Amino acid sequence: MIGIYVNRTDLFMEAPLNQPTPAPTGDADVVREPLTSDGPIDFTLIELLFFSYREFTADADMLLERYHFGRAHHRVLHFVNRDPGMTIADLLDLLQITKQSLSRVLRQLIEGGFVTQQAGTDDRRQRHLYPTPAGRALTLELSRAQVRLIEAAKKASVASHEGFDIASVAEFLFQMAMESGSTRRWYKKQGIGGKACYDPG
């Protein structure tokens, strides 16, 4: 089995589909009862997150395929466009990946003309990343594809529940990522505060 590490959340495993597995020796080796949400784990919410994320990335994935890019390329493009001039060290810290994992993705984006890097004025050893016009255009196209799904979900929610509490959704997503120090720093820098971003009060 070969693991291809693209990003912390993108681990693709390759293995022959016809690879034999050891036959169970008896019924004691087979679990037949499904996992349910009756216990301490809410599998319903896990699956809601799983399938919503799959749909959230689906249209963007198809756009990325035109360039032979993947979600790791998308993440780099997104954050470099959100914070032009960020250093490679900043990006590594934010994405929580290794330099080796980033180098291939970044090289492809630079060679494709979507991102450029410049030496720092104070420290020439630092490399600052900037989007090119092509990189900005692609990032906007990817974001529009994802926003369309969000807007459709908001409209469906309003129609079925006579209202859509985006502030509560934002707070839920905000709290899910708060364990990461790099994420907290990013939220602070960008003024992202979960429910506070949408609460008029």
User: Could you read off the pLDDT of 56-80 as tens digits, one per residue?
Assistant: 999 999 999 999 999 999 999 999 9
CA 156 and chain centroid, separation = 24
CATH of domain 46-162: 1.10.10.10
Supply the Cα-derived Rg of the chain in whole angstroms: 21
Handedness of CA 13, 17, 20, 25 (dihedral sign): positive
Location of each CATH 1.10.10.10 domain in the chain: 46-162
pTM over 0.85? The answer is no
| Cα(71)–Cα(60) distance, integer angstroms | 8
Look up residue 32 and give its two tokens.
Answer: 């037949």
User: Could you read off the pLDDT of 152-171 as tens digits, one per residue?
Assistant: 888 887 776 666 788 888 89
DSSP per-residue codes, 143-193? HHHHHHHHHHHHHHHHHHHS---HHHHHHHHHHHTTT-HHHHHHHHHHT--
> Between helices 71-82 and 99-111, what is the axis angle to 10°?
80
Residue 3 has pLDDT above 50, yes or no: no
